[in-house]
């Protein structure tokens, strides 16, 4: 088992780093080695692999590894449970439920694993209920009832199962007449006080991580959200905190306890999201309403959760929230289609004066349309995070002032009507690109509307890879200067602003892929996203008629 032990250690290390290439290679190496070793992989090695991937939210890799371990003949209930967890995280709740229910019928499932499976089954049914509530309430009612019963049954079997206990309390709160009768709801909600008391009686230095968050939820159930803040402070600052646990707590507080759009919720969730971004595997998307709420959170609210964090975490996050208000959702015939952002004309070309424009890709909007782009008269533009009636206006495209085709700078500068108000602030540009020094890895950030939906912040795995050095240094060249980065994007992110670590715009995102040609004469292909340097857009505009 020596080789598999070494490969397990390699995978564990890769799971904790933001290096997708090494994670892919380490997973592939382990999967390839398993059938070549005599017998099935040792279950303890298998547990270690899946636990490391779950801890850092590498769910796609977790699913692949779990499948390979099962194919290798390791017939262990925990492996099936972890496989089901990966399915749930991918939104595949129906097959996950099937896997878990089959495993619960086994005679060799120890009680501790039975309890975990009941909790994960509750999670699968809960996710189904959340997904369809308000759309298919008949399905949501059945799913909620099943989730509630799985959590409740486990807790009734052993009241030390606090995770399962607090979830049946949370679902009683969320039910609001959908599925449970009043007696069931009242009995479950009354359990919150007992759960909190049990956690409080555990010595502080011996409280498990999940129990601390459970106590916070129990206080929320009793209407004591302010009192919960101290418990969540201890939770976030716990030595064992990881992105899987924290993301799960954020999901519970927003989806079930419905705290996302409340003042107390904003104060509680904003610092938790800030902490999540510091952890391997940490990332988040938010609804437009939530982001408006988060942008109003005071520094003191961060300090309640994270302690005296200093200026960087608070001011940096706050600046990002504020900048996001100038990111535009571009709709084609009423459907979200792409992203744009506000620029002041003279930051691109002096001939444009102080007027405010929207910059996006020419493959998003162009005249005549290029490569599937929308026509100007098919487009409306909205700033989803603007918080006043004046700024909730939907803007039409009056004209395309300047454009460069998709195979060049892939940019369109749009004049809109009515004119943009001064309250929508233009992006600030950086004239320089970050260093490519290997000893000082630079990060790249993107804010956009992936899939034409809610605002998304791309923070995870966001290393700057390369850019066209020759074009950066040749100021008389007007060729498009490409920037490569790993920062995740999705369809709909086209036209998003690309930021350096100081929230200065350095480019406009326009494409990505798993086989992008490397720059600067380097051989080979790699997985990368690509933006066009703003300075190269400025250079070409100054040499063309407007």
Last residue of a domain, which of 324, 356, 389? 324
96: tokens are 């996950």
If residue 271 lies in a helix (H) or strand (E), which one and from where to where? helix 263-277
* pLDDT at 387 > cutoff 60: no
How far is the C-alpha of 200 from the C-alpha of 204, rounded, in Å? Answer: 8
Q: Please compute the mean of the pLDDT values over residues 193-204 and round it to a whole number.
A: 95
Is the peptide bond prior to 418 cis by the omega test (within 30 degrees of 0)?
Answer: yes
Confidence of residue 389 (pLDDT cuts 50, 70, 90): very low
Across the chain, what does the average pLDDT equal?
88
The verdict on residue 481 lying in a domain is: yes
The verdict on residue 144 lying in a domain is: no
Question: How much is the pLDDT for 483?
Answer: 95
- For residue 412, the domain's CATH number is 2.40.10.10
pTM score of the predicted model: 0.71
Is the peptide bond prior to 368 cis by the omega test (within 30 degrees of 0)?
Answer: yes
Phi, psi of 527 (to 5 degrees): -80, 125
Confidence of residue 491 (pLDDT cuts 50, 70, 90): low
Question: How much is the pLDDT for 476?
Answer: 85
Number of domains the chain contains: 3
The verdict on residue 7 lying in a domain is: no
Place of tokens 């601390």: 212
* pLDDT at 540 > cutoff 60: yes
Same domain, 297 and 402: no
3-state secondary structure of 445: strand
* pLDDT at 488 > cutoff 70: no
Q: Please compute the mean of the pLDDT values over residues 155-159 and round it to a whole number.
A: 96
The verdict on residue 256 lying in a domain is: yes
Domain hosting 256: range is: 202-324
The verdict on residue 282 lying in a domain is: yes
Please provide the DSSP assignment of 374-426 as one string.
BPGGGEEEE-TT--STGGGPPEEEEEEEEEE-TTTT-EEEEEEESPPPTTSPP
> What is the tens place of the pLDDT at every residue in 408-430?
999 999 999 999 988 899 999 99
Last residue of a domain, which of 301, 324, 347? 324
Same domain, 210 and 254: yes
Last residue of a domain, which of 290, 324, 358? 324
The verdict on residue 334 lying in a domain is: yes
The verdict on residue 98 lying in a domain is: no
> What is the tens place of the pLDDT at every residue in 428-445?
999 899 998 877 778 888
Same domain, 335 and 231: no
> What is the tens place of the pLDDT at every residue in 256-289?
999 876 777 777 887 788 788 777 766 666 666 6
How far is the C-alpha of 265 from the C-alpha of 263, rounded, in Å? Answer: 5
> What is the tens place of the pLDDT at every residue in 53-74?
999 888 889 999 999 999 999 9
Question: How much is the pLDDT for 298?
Answer: 74
Q: Please compute the mean of the pLDDT values over residues 332-339 and round it to a whole number.
A: 89
* Residue 308 CB neighbours (<10 A): 7
How far is the C-alpha of 344 from the C-alpha of 328, rounded, in Å? Answer: 14
Q: What percent of the chain has pLDDT over 70?
A: 91
101: tokens are 């229910």
How far is the C-alpha of 255 from the C-alpha of 123, rounded, in Å? Answer: 12
Same domain, 378 and 349: yes
Three-state SS sequence of 177-215: CCCCCHHHHHHHHHHHHHHHHHHHCCCHHHCCHHHHHHH
* pLDDT at 485 > cutoff 50: yes
The verdict on residue 138 lying in a domain is: no
Question: How much is the pLDDT for 492?
Answer: 52
CA 359, 361, 367 angle in degrees (round to 5)? 90
> What is the tens place of the pLDDT at every residue in 281-300?
666 666 666 666 666 677 77
> What is the tens place of the pLDDT at every residue in 219-243?
999 999 889 988 998 999 899 998 8
How far is the C-alpha of 317 from the C-alpha of 273, rounded, in Å? Answer: 10
30: tokens are 């382990």
How far is the C-alpha of 7 from the C-alpha of 5, rounded, in Å? Answer: 5
DSSP character at residue 499: E
């Amino acid at each position: 088992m020596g080789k598999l032990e070494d490969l397990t250690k390699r995978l564990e290390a890769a799971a904790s780093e933001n290096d997708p290439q090494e994670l892919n290679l380490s997973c592939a190496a382990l999967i390839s080695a398993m059938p070549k070793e005599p017998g099935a992989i040792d279950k303890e090695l298998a547990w270690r692999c899946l636990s490391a991937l779950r801890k850092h939210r590498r769910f796609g890799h977790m699913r692949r590894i779990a499948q390979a371990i099962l194919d290798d003949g390791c017939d262990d209930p925990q492996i099936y449970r972890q496989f089901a967890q990966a399915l749930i995280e991918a939104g595949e709740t129906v097959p996950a439920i099937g896997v878990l229910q089959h495993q619960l019928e086994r005679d060799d499932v120890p009680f501790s694993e039975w309890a975990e499976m009941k909790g994960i089954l509750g999670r699968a049914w809960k996710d189904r209920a959340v997904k369809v509530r308000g759309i298919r309430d008949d399905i949501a009612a059945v799913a909620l009832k099943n989730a509630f019963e799985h959590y409740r049954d486990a807790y009734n079997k052993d009241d030390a199962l606090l995770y399962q206990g607090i979830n049946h309390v949370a679902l009683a709160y969320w039910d609001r007449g959908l599925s449970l009768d009043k007696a069931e709801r009242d009995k479950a909600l009354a359990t919150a006080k007992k759960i909190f008391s049990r956690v409080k009686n555990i010595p502080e230095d011996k409280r498990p991580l999940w129990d601390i968050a459970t106590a916070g939820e129990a206080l929320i159930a009793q209407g004591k959200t302010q009192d919960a803040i101290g418990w969540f402070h201890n939770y976030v600052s716990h030595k064992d905190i990881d992105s899987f646990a924290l993301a799960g707590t954020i999901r519970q507080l927003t989806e079930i306890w419905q705290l996302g759009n409340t003042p107390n919720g904003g104060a509680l969730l904003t610092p938790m999201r800030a902490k999540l971004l510091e952890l391997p595997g940490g990332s988040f998307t938010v609804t437009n309403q939530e982001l408006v709420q988060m942008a109003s959170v005071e520094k003191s609210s961060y300090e309640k959760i994270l302690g005296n964090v200093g200026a960087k975490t608070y001011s940096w996050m706050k600046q990002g929230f504020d900048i996001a208000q100038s990111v535009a959702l571009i709709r084609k015939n009423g459907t979200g289609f792409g992203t744009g952002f506000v620029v002041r004309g003279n930051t691109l070309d002096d001939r444009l004066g102080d007027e405010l424009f929207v910059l996006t890709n020419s493959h998003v909007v162009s005249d005549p349309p290029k490569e599937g782009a929308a026509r100007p008269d098919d487009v409306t533009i909205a700033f989803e995070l603007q918080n006043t009636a004046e700024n909730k206006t939907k803007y039409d495209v009056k004209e395309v002032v300047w454009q460069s085709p998709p195979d060049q700078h892939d940019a369109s500068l749009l004049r809109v009507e009515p004119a943009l108000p001064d309250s929508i602030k233009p992006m600030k540009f950086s004239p320089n690109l970050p260093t490519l020094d290997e000893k000082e890895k630079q990060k790249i950030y993107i804010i956009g509307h992936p899939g034409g939906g809610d605002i998304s912040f791309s923070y995870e795995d966001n290393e700057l890879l390369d850019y066209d050095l020759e074009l950066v240094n040749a100021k008389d060249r007007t060729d498009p200067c490409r920037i490569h980065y790993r920062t995740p994007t999705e369809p709909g992110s086209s036209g998003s602003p690309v930021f350096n670590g100081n929230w200065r715009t350095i480019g406009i995102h326009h494409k990505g892929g798993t086989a992008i040609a490397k720059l600067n004469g380097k051989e080979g292909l790699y997985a990368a996203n690509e933006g066009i340097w703003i300075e190269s857009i400025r250079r070409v505009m100054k040499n063309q008629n407007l």
